[in-house]
Chain A
Amino acid sequence: MATETDFDALERALSRTADRHVPPPIDPRQLRRRRACLEVGPVVWLLVIAAFVVAAAIDRSWWFACGIGLLLIPGALTNLIARRREVAALTDPGDLAEYEKRDFEAQAKHQRSAVLIEVTAAVAFAIVAWQAGEAWRWIVPAVFGTLALGRAITVLPFVERANRDAGGERPHGWSVQLLLLVLFLLLPFLLVAGGVHRVWRRIRTGLGGRR
């Protein structure tokens, strides 16, 4: 067995070495950023709905504005209040850290796939606009492209950094996300759309034949 003196020497060596270590500084702003990130989702969704309602009202499409308002605003408000209550109820710091980790993990995964979906939509609508040859149709791919770019530049790095800070699992790489998107979203969508298109053509041909 090692002697008491040997052991004390090792213990002193460990304490001395640890004392020489310079601890990384703590940044209170990072903490505030992460808290804001945790609560900002439902607020953004509510703002998006409000923007739709306002746009419809400006266009005097009152039935559309009321429809959106009645259908979506109660859900968005409930979501906002529930999120606030959920975060406030997590009084144990450990539970809050676990909640944050889960939330940022989910957000990091969601944001990557959202960028890919928006890019895909932009490309698809750009093809439609190009084939139609009407200038106004380019507004749609431009909106999707701007959304994808804005998300990739501002939201995505922020959420991924928060996820890393919270010790969350890294989201799948871009190639895996793309593969998942093609396999589970794009292909099923194209198959269903192709099927619907064929059925619609048969119906139209059938109706035409009877005339």
Chain B
Amino acid sequence: MMDPATEARLLAALRSGDRKAHDAAIGELHARTARPLFQLCLRIACDAADADDAVQETFILVLRGVRSFRGEAKLSTWLFRIAIRAATRVRNRSATRRHTVVDTSQLPGGDDPVAQAADRENAARLLEAIDELPAAQRAVVGLAAIEGIAHAEIAAVLGIPVGTVASRLHEARDRLRALLAVRRSGG
């Protein structure tokens, strides 16, 4: 997602007193990380609108805390930790979950609308099942969905051993398959 040199450059700009450099760094950080953060927050909050709120909250919290960030972890690791907390907070305060990812059919270009509609339906089915997982498993499922993330980084984000990540992910997937099968059989 971000190489160490980019992380160091963005951190320096975010901590600088130069407002222009600061705002440009926020824009770049958002452009690079908003999508993976949305993937993560969506699987924790289980609703697109809530996930959007959680991503916004994550950025606000990151920007406020960036001066006190000690740099002991990677910037992305810190970002994911904050996103998990933000998504959990948004999930807890949200009264209802609709299990939907926003309707993108109105956007120009893209795939066949029928395929998009089928994707949305399947996405909603999976979100409904993820919603029933325990919080720890939802976080692992969310992090594992981020493209290019290694088990070692998931372990660093969650503060657990790498072996636990693998077993937790395995348990979560088993449980999801079982939940989906129950739903399919109408039970």
Contacts and interface: CB of A to CB of B under 8 A. Distances in A.
Interface in B28-62: 30, 34-35, 38-39, 42-43, 48, 52-53, 55-57, 59-62
A132 interface: no
Interface in B65-102: 65, 68, 82, 85, 89-90, 93, 101-102
A102 to B, nearest CB: 14
B104 A21 contact: yes
A173 interface: no
A80 B65 CA distance: 22
A1 B177 contact: yes
Interface string A1-30: 111101101110111111111111110100
B126 interface: yes
- Size range of the interface on A? 20 to 34
Contacts of B110: 20
B114 interface: no
- Size range of the interface on B? 35 or more
A173 B180 CA distance: 44
A91 interface: yes
B107 A20 contact: yes
Given A7-B173, A21-B101, A23-B34, A15 B39 contact: yes
B145 interface: yes
A10 B177 CA distance: 10
A93 interface: yes
B60 A31 contact: yes
Interface string A167-186: 10000000000000000000
Contact of B119 (A7, A16, A92, A167): A16
Interface of A: 1-4, 6-7, 9-11, 13-26, 28, 31, 35, 91-94, 96-97, 167
14 contacts: A6-B177, A7-B176, A13-B119, A17-B123, A23-B35, A23-B38, A28-B63, A35-B64, A92-B65, A93-B65, A94-B61, A94-B89, A96-B61, A97-B60
Given A17-B116, A91-B68, A167-B57, 6 more contacts: A14-B123, A18-B101, A19-B39, A23-B38, A26-B26, A28-B63
